[in-house]
Structure 1
Amino acid sequence: MLRALVVVLAMVIGSSAWARQIVTVGGYEFGPFVDAEADGKTTGLTLALIDALNRYQDRFEFRFVLTSPSRRYKDFEDRKFDLIFFESPDWGWTAKKIPVDVSEVFLDGGELYIAKAAAGRGQEYFTDLAGKRMVGILGYHYGFAGFESDPALLASRYRMTLVNDNAASIEMILKDRGDVAVVTDAYLKRYLKSHPGTDSRLLVSDRFDQRYAHRALVRPGAALTVADMDRLFASMAKDQTLTKLWRGYGIKD
């Protein structure tokens, strides 16, 4: 009798696992959301959110798909993934007329200016950026430059050096290879937390270069609807699941 019960339970558990609908989640390297480790492993907040979602419910199985900043639009149109987190329709999706269903905001954020700390240097240093050696990330738009992303224009007009990620931007400033860098606030908080003492070497602006509201962009007709996503986020926010996740990455206090 006991053996039969175990078999039945195994079948129920197995059928439940098989019943999960696969939902593919796109993401590109941009810390702290997606980080590529030296051993080739992909980590970051997007992967942690996927893990939390899979543990939180049993209707969908979320799986990560790596893309790139420039390739993500075509990959989405080619149905290589169903949704993407930490995005905004204003970041090229609307301009490219790509149909997406847009979730409610689940995390806010922005980009700050940083400079090397120096005696007598305060917030006024960020008031006028003209003539300063700027540092940013290749392929991204910046508020101070009118959201221009063309590398040649950024280099000629704003003396901007473009690097691959936020970590490289911070290192450029610490090594006096640039005057002001634009860094994602979420990454900066995590970086300062994991590099004790660095905060005293940097001057961080009070004002943002730009602010944004993170949403999920979902493919119309996908197994998971934007209403499903909103309900999950609302429930996970209500019971502090999301708050604990943000705190774990140093994004929220």
Structure 2
Amino acid sequence: MLKFFIFIMIIVCSKFSYAKPINVDVLVEDGYFPIIINAEKEQGVAPEFIKILNDSQNDYKFTLNSLPVKRLKKWVEWGEFDVLFLMAKQWVPEGSRSALQETSFYVIAKNELYTLAQNAQKQSYFDDLHALTKAGVLGYSYRFADFKTDAQYLSEEHQVSLTIDEFNVVKMLLLKRADVGVINNIAYQYFKKNNIFNMDLLYRSNTPDAIYDTHFLVNPPRSKISVKQMDKLLNAPEIKPKITALLSSYGITSSFTQNN
């Protein structure tokens, strides 16, 4: 009887010792600022962030999946994900927002207004924004246009020319095809850090078009990790310093640095 009991205990202990980590599917927008995700090369903050999470603990296995914005929105509407990577609730379909829970951890994203430095000597250049031609990204929403995304409306009512990404927004400014371009601060840091453009040629408005706190958005009906567990993981002593160092290396401001 004693031998049988010992045998059972060995089996139970072995089961716990070799328990598989819980799978967590993380969605990120393919085409989201290049600094966040370069899906083709598996580079950027998102892959490095997920690697830190996976290398620093054994309870969860995070898998990063990148999808184009239209397809990602469909997956969000269908609830086919566990967690969204650093997104603002305003960016997801309205009908899906109430089901999502956001982490206390966040990264600050700003949509900022730029023009060529040779165009503007003072901030007053941006006062009458409606009179200026603008360049933006297809599918993105802007405060100056009441957050509407319809291309025809943006073109006719706000003189906005849309392009596929912020790389092309900068090109349009440098080629003088628009007076003002909307560039996210994270994309700006990426272009400047990697010397992709001479960003010193641009002049920035002191008033951003919009500021967002982007969080991990957890989908409770499906996710096996709760928002509290996600925050606990991010704040773990073996993880938080690595995340802080990663974001700092990219010039990204987060709640970890804001609240210190």
Question: Aligned partners of 2:77 and 2:153: how far apart in 1?
Answer: 29
Is 1:33 the counterpart of 2:36 in the alignment?
yes
Alpha-carbon distance change, 173 to 236 in structure 1, aligned in 2, over 3 angstroms: farther
Cα distance in 2 for residues equivalent to 1:233 and 1:50: 11
Question: 1: distance between equivalents of 2:28 and 2:157?
Answer: 31
Q: What residue identity is the alignment partner of 2:23? A: I
After TM superposition, the structure 1 = structure 2 runs for residues 85-124 of structure 1, keeping only pairs within 5 Å, are 85-96=85-96, 99-118=99-118, 121-124=121-124
Distance in 2 of aligned mates of 1:33 and 1:245: 11
- The CA deviation string for residues 165-208 of structure 1, in whole angstroms up to 9 with x for no partner, is 11111111111111101111011012112117713211122211
- Aligned to 1:240, what secondary structure does the other structure show? helix
Q: Distance in 2 between matches of 1:171 and 1:197?
A: 9
CA distance 1:97–1:230, change in 2 (3 Å): closer
SS at match of 2:130: coil
- 1:72-221 matches, within 5 Å, as 72-96=72-96, 99-118=99-118, 121-195=121-195, 198-221=198-221
More moved, 134-143 vs 68-77: 68-77
Q: Is the 8 A contact 2:101 2:227 kept in 1?
A: yes
- Secondary structure of 2:229's partner? helix
Which amino acid counterpart does residue 220 of structure 1 have in structure 2? P
Q: Which amino acid aligns with 2:58?
A: D
Letter of the structure 2 residue corresponding to residue 248 of structure 1: S
Contact in 1 for aligned 2:111/2:183 (Cα 8 Å): yes
Which of 1 and 2 has greater Rg? Answer: 2
Q: Give the CA deviation at 1:235.
A: 2.8
Which deviates more from structure 2 when the two are superposed, residues 42-51 or residues 142-151? 42-51
> What is the match of residue 63 of structure 2?
63
Residue 6 (structure 1) aligns with: none
Report the Cα offset of residue 251 of structure 1.
2.1
Alignment of 1:218-237 (within 5 A): 218-221=218-221, 222-235=223-236
Give the drift of 1:239: 4.3
> Structure 2 CA distance, aligned partners of 1:179 and 1:95?
35
How has the CA–CA distance of structure 1 residues 88 and 237 changed in structure 2, closer, same or farther, with 3 Å as cutoff? farther
Structure 2-normalised TM-score? 0.82
Q: Secondary structure at the match of 1:228?
A: helix
Q: Which residue of 2 aligns with 1:241?
A: 242
One-letter amino acid of the counterpart of residue 47, structure 1 = P
Match of 1:44 in 2: 44
| Amino acid aligned to 2:36 | F
C-alpha separation between the residues in 2 aligned to 1:145 and 1:236? 43
Q: Which range moves more in the overlay, 194-203 or 225-234?
A: 194-203
1:226 CA displacement: 0.8
Contiguous gaps of at least 5 residues in structure 2: 1-13
Amino acid across the alignment from 1:224: I
Give the letter aligned to residue 89 of structure 1: K
SS of alignment partner, residue 208 of structure 2: strand
Q: Report the CA distance shift for 1:120/1:155 in structure 2 as closer, same or farther (over 3 A).
A: closer
CA RMSD after TM alignment: 2.5
What are the ranges of 5 or more consecutive residues in structure 1 without an aligned counterpart?
Answer: 1-11
- SS in structure 2 opposite 1:70? helix
Distance in 1 separating the partners of 2:81 and 2:170:
32
